[in-house]
Amino acid sequence: MHTLNSLLQKISHAKSLDFGDIINNSIELFKKVWLKGFLVILFLGIAAFIISLVFQLIGLAPKAFDINNGFDIESFSDFYFQNILYSIPQNILVSTLTLAFVAAFYRICKQIDSGETANDDYFYFLKKEYFTKVFMLGIIYTLIAAAAQRLFLIPYIYVFVPLSYFAVIFAFNPDLSETEIVKASFALGNKKWLITFGTMFVMLIIGGLGILGCGIGILFTISIVYLPSFLIYKDVVGFKAHSEIDKIGLNDDDDDDSDY
């Protein structure tokens, strides 16, 4: 586990990363974890559907924009701003589950990437000892995203990159406080903003090609979007060989205190 100071120090002294290497390594890692990624996307899709259904039943679901009365900028603007606020409760739950499942996916990716025995516990960060923290991160994530959305496109594009590091920072540093995770995520996101955005954009295009497989194929491919953040974190910060969250399911002869 890293402290906040050690994380910030590594981030501030981070070496330059190669765009092509991140792309190639993302593709190679995806070949090993695509099924794990599919299950994460499936869990998220089912969870989002159930949450949306519940909110519709209780009358708190975000409303769709009514174009029957014509389209004008003023009415769309009013709808946009109202819907951002109206969506916050639902988005908090979705964000919480997304962070928990993606953090578990990163934990699995690390085990596979380093040749460890994978422990496919997709609900690892929904356990009692982590749930309060991941829920608070879900609230913070949603409020930051909502504030950026109210300022329209450019601020939201900017904060999207630091927000994408919430899950990976949390996955490998769950002992950090919520505030420390946010600080580290924004430090890494700001330091490596361009390469993160660029590689994620390319992975989004590649992952989106799955839609050619009768539409449902995208469920098998879109998880590749999560891999650049994982690989950038690995190159910038690195992993302790056996942090407490990784000891479960590992062979005893794998014990080592060196950095991976």
Please check whether residue 188 is in contact with residue 164, taking contact to mean a CB–CB distance below 8 angstroms: no
The rounded distance, in Å, linking the Cα atoms of 189 and 197 is 9
Tell me how many domains the chain contains.
Answer: 1
CB atoms within 10 A of CB 152: 12
Low-confidence ranges of the chain (pLDDT < 50): 241-260
Give residue 104's domain range. Answer: 4-240
Q: What angle do CA 133, 222, 49 make, to 5 degrees?
A: 60
Q: What is the pLDDT of residue 64?
A: 65
- Smallest CA-to-CA distance from 94 within 42, 140, 152, 52 is with 52
Cα 237 to the chain's mean position, in Å? 17
Residue 253 within any structural domain of the chain: no
The rounded distance, in Å, linking the Cα atoms of 125 and 117 is 19
Q: What is the pLDDT of residue 171?
A: 96
Q: What is the pLDDT of residue 248?
A: 46
Residue 175 within any structural domain of the chain: yes
Residue 18 within any structural domain of the chain: yes
- Smallest CA-to-CA distance from 100 within 49, 47, 158, 52 is with 47
Q: What is the pLDDT of residue 155?
A: 86
Please check whether residue 37 is in contact with residue 105, taking contact to mean a CB–CB distance below 8 angstroms: yes
Q: What is the pLDDT of residue 200?
A: 97
Taking the model in full, what pTM does it have?
0.86
Residue 115 within any structural domain of the chain: yes
Residue 245 within any structural domain of the chain: no
3-state secondary structure of 65: coil
Residue 259 within any structural domain of the chain: no
Residue 255 within any structural domain of the chain: no
Residue 177 within any structural domain of the chain: yes
